[in-house]
Amino acid sequence: MKHPSVPLPRIGMRVIKTAVAVMVSYALFLPFGLTYREELGGVLGQMGPLYACIACIICTQSSLGQTFYQGISRLIGVLVGGALGTATLLLGPALEHFWLKTIVLGMVCVAGVWLCLLIKRPTACGMACILPCVILITGVTGVTRYYYAVARIIETIVGLLVALAVNAALPDHRPESERGGMDMTVEVKNSTRKLCVIGDPVGHSKSPLIQNTMIKALGLDYVYLCQPVPRGQCKAWLDCAKFADYAGFNATMPHKEELVPLMDELDEDARLIGAVNTVCIRDGKAYGYNTDGEGFLRSLADEGIDPAGKRVMVLGAGGASKAVCLKLAQAGAEVVVCNRTLDKAQTICNHDPDHLRPTGFTPEELAREAEQCDLLVNCTSLGMEGASGQFADFSFLDSLAKSAPVVDLIYAPAETELLRQARKRGHRTANGLGLLVNQAVLSLEYFTGTAIDAADMKKRIADVL
Ligand code: ATR
Please tell me what DSSP assigns to residue 287. E
Q: Using the mean position of ligand 1's atoms as its centre, give its distance from the Cα of residue 360 in Å.
A: 13
Span from the CA of 344 to the centroid of ligand 1 (angstroms): 10
CB-based contacts of 163: which residues, under 8 Å, 6+ apart? 17, 21, 55, 56, 59, 60, 67, 71
Q: How far apart are CA 81 and CA 73, in angstroms?
A: 12
Which atom of ligand 1 is the closest one to the Cα of 340?
19
Question: Residue 368 has what pLDDT?
Answer: 97
Best-predicted range by mean pLDDT (99-103, 314-318, 382-386): 314-318
pLDDT digits (tens, 9 = 90+) for 407-448: 999 988 989 999 999 999 999 999 999 999 999 999 999 999
For a mutational test of ligand 1's pocket, the pick from 326, 340, 379, 391, i.e. the residue with the most ligand atoms closer than 8 A to its C-beta, is: 340
Ligand 1 atom showing the smallest separation from residue 390 Cα:
27
Q: Please determine, for residue 60, whether its predicted confidence score (pLDDT) is greater than 90.
A: no
**DSSP designation for 5:** P
Residue 339 has pLDDT above 90, yes or no: yes
Torsions phi, psi for 311 (to 5 deg): -100, 115
The number of the ligand 1 atom at minimal distance from the alpha carbon of 387 is 24
Q: How far is the CA of 299 from the centre of ligand 1 (A)?
A: 22
Pairing assessment for the beta strands 222-228 and 311-315 based on DSSP bridges: unpaired
Q: What is the pLDDT of residue 176?
A: 41
- Residue 150: the pLDDT is 84
Calculate mean pLDDT across residues 20-44.
79
Q: How confident is the model at residue 391 (pLDDT cuts 50, 70, 90)?
A: very high
**Ranges of H-type helices in 303-341:** 319-330
pLDDT value for 6: 53
Atom 28 in ligand 1: which residue has the minimum CA distance?
340
Q: How far is residue 141's CA from residue 135's CA, in Å, rounded to a whole number?
A: 10
What is the rounded CA–CA span in Å between residue 170 and residue 167? 5
* pLDDT of 151: 84
CATH tag, 304-427: 3.40.50.720
Residue nearest ligand 1's atom 3 by CA:
320
| Residue identifier of the C-alpha nearest atom 27 of ligand 1 | 389
- Mean pLDDT check: name the lowest of 161-170, 232-241, 388-397: 161-170
Contacts by 16-21, CB closer than 8 A, 24 or more apart: 16/170, 17/60, 17/163, 17/166, 17/167, 17/170, 18/56, 18/57, 18/60, 20/166, 20/170, 21/56, 21/57, 21/60, 21/159, 21/162, 21/163, 21/166, 21/167
Find the helix or strand (DSSP H, E) in which 146 lies.
Answer: helix 144-169
In this predicted structure, the answer to whether residue 398 has a pLDDT above a threshold of 60 is yes
Please report the atom of ligand 1 found closest to the CA of residue 344: 18
Angle among Cα 52, 57, 63 to the nearest 5 degrees reads 115
Cα of 367 to ligand 1 centre, how many Å?
19
- Supply the pLDDT for residue 181: 47
Q: Which residue from 381, 388, 416, 435 has its CB within 8 A of the most atoms of ligand 1, so it is best to mutate?
A: 381
Distance 321 CA to ligand 1 centre (A): 9
b/e string for 51-90 if b means 16 or more Cβ within 10 A? bbbbbbebbbbbbbbbbbbbbbbbbbbbbbbbbbbbebbe
Supply the pTM of this predicted model. 0.64
Give the Cα-Cα-Cα angle 288, 71, 120 (nearest 5 degrees): 25
- Region of poorest pLDDT, from 11-20, 235-244, 283-292, 301-310: 11-20
Q: Kindly tell me the number of DSSP H helices and DSSP E strands found in the chain.
A: 17, 12
What does each C-alpha distance from 207 to 13, 85, 438 come to in angstroms?
A: 29, 43, 12
Secondary structure E strands in 174-325:
193-199, 222-228, 246-251, 265-266, 278-282, 285-289, 311-315
Q: Which CATH architecture has domain 193-293?
A: 3-Layer(aba) Sandwich (3.40)
Report pLDDT digits (tens) over 189-244: 999 999 999 999 888 888 999 999 999 999 999 999 999 999 999 999 999 999 99
Q: Sign of the C-alpha dihedral, residues 350, 351, 357, 360?
A: negative
Q: Are strands 246-251 and 278-282 parallel, antiparallel or unpaired?
A: antiparallel
| Interval between CA 347 and ligand 1 midpoint (Å) | 14
Task: Specify the pLDDT at position 140.
Answer: 67
**What is the identity of the amino acid at 377?**
V
With contact defined as beta carbons under 8 Å apart, do 152 and 53 qualify?
no
Task: Tell me how crowded residue 330 is: count the other CB atoms within 10 A of its CB.
Answer: 16
Ligand 1 pocket (Cβ < 6 Å) reads 316-321, 339-341, 344, 361, 379-382, 389
| Whole-number percent of the chain with pLDDT over 70 | 91
Ligand 1 atom at shortest distance from the alpha carbon of 341: 19
Q: Tell me which of 165 and 371 has the higher pLDDT.
A: 371
Q: How far is the CA of 325 from the centre of ligand 1 (A)?
A: 15
The catalytic residue among 17, 194, 216, 256 is 256
Using DSSP's 3-state secondary structure scheme, residue 218 falls into: helix
Mutate to test the pocket of ligand 1, among 324, 380, 435 (most ligand atoms within 8 A of CB): 380
Range with lowest mean pLDDT among 40-49, 97-106, 248-257, 295-304: 40-49
For ligand 1, what atom is nearest to the CA of residue 321? Answer: 4
- The whole-angstrom separation of Cα 209 and Cα 82 is 42
The verdict on whether 256 is a catalytic residue reads yes
Residue 2 is predicted with a pLDDT of 43
Sheet holding 356-359, edge to edge: 356-359, 334-338, 311-315, 375-378, 406-408, 429-430
Q: Residue 95: is its pLDDT beyond 90? A: no
Q: Which residue, judged by its Cα, is nearest atom 30 of ligand 1?
A: 340
- Whether 58 has a pLDDT exceeding 90, the answer reads no
Residue nearest atom 11 of ligand 1, based on CA coordinates: 380
Calculate the average pLDDT of the chain. Answer: 88
> Is the pLDDT reported for residue 135 higher than 90?
no
Closest CA to 324 of 351, 364, 354: 351
Whether cis (ω within 30° of 0) applies to the bond prior to 93 is no
For residues 410 and 101, the model is more confident at 410
